[in-house]
Homo-oligomer: A and B are copies of this chain.
Amino acid sequence: MQLGAIDRADDRPPYRQIADHLRAAIDRGDLAAGDKLPSEAVLIEHYGVARMTVRQAVQELRNEGRVVAEHGRGTFVRQPVQVRRLASERFARRHREAGLAAFSVEAQKTGFTPNVDQLEVSTGPATPEIRDRLRLGDGEEVVVRSRRYLADGQPVETAVSYLPASVAAGSRIVEADTGPGGIYARLEDMGFELDHFTEEVSARMPSAEERRRLQLTDGVPVVVLVRTAYDTTGRPLEVCDTLKAAPAYVLEYEVPAR
- Given contacts A64-B208, A201-B201, A252-B198, A96 and B257 within 8 Å (CB-CB): yes
Q: Which of A88-143 contact B (CB under 8 A)?
A: 88, 91-96
Nearest-CB residue, chain B, relative to A258: B95
Please give the distance in Å from A141's CB to the nearest CB on chain B.
25
Q: Which of A231-258 contact B (CB under 8 A)?
A: 246-247, 249-258
* CB of A199 closer than 8 Å to a CB of B: yes
* CB of A196 closer than 8 Å to a CB of B: yes
Q: Which of A202-231 contact B (CB under 8 A)?
A: 202-208, 211, 218-223, 229
For the complex, what is the distance from the CA of A81 to the CA of B52, rounded to whole Å? Answer: 31
Chain B hits for A197, CB < 8 A: 254-255, 257
The answer on a CB contact under 8 Å between B258 and A255 is no
Chain B hits for A195, CB < 8 A: 256-257
* CB of A35 closer than 8 Å to a CB of B: no
The answer on a CB contact under 8 Å between A223 and B203 is yes
For the complex, what is the distance from the CA of A201 to the CA of B224, rounded to whole Å? Answer: 11
* CB of A65 closer than 8 Å to a CB of B: yes
Nearest-CB residue, chain B, relative to A188: B257
The answer on a CB contact under 8 Å between B199 and A221 is no
* CB of A44 closer than 8 Å to a CB of B: no
Please give the distance in Å from A96's CB to the nearest CB on chain B.
6
The answer on a CB contact under 8 Å between A246 and B81 is no
Chain B hits for A88, CB < 8 A: 200
Please give the distance in Å from A19's CB to the nearest CB on chain B.
7
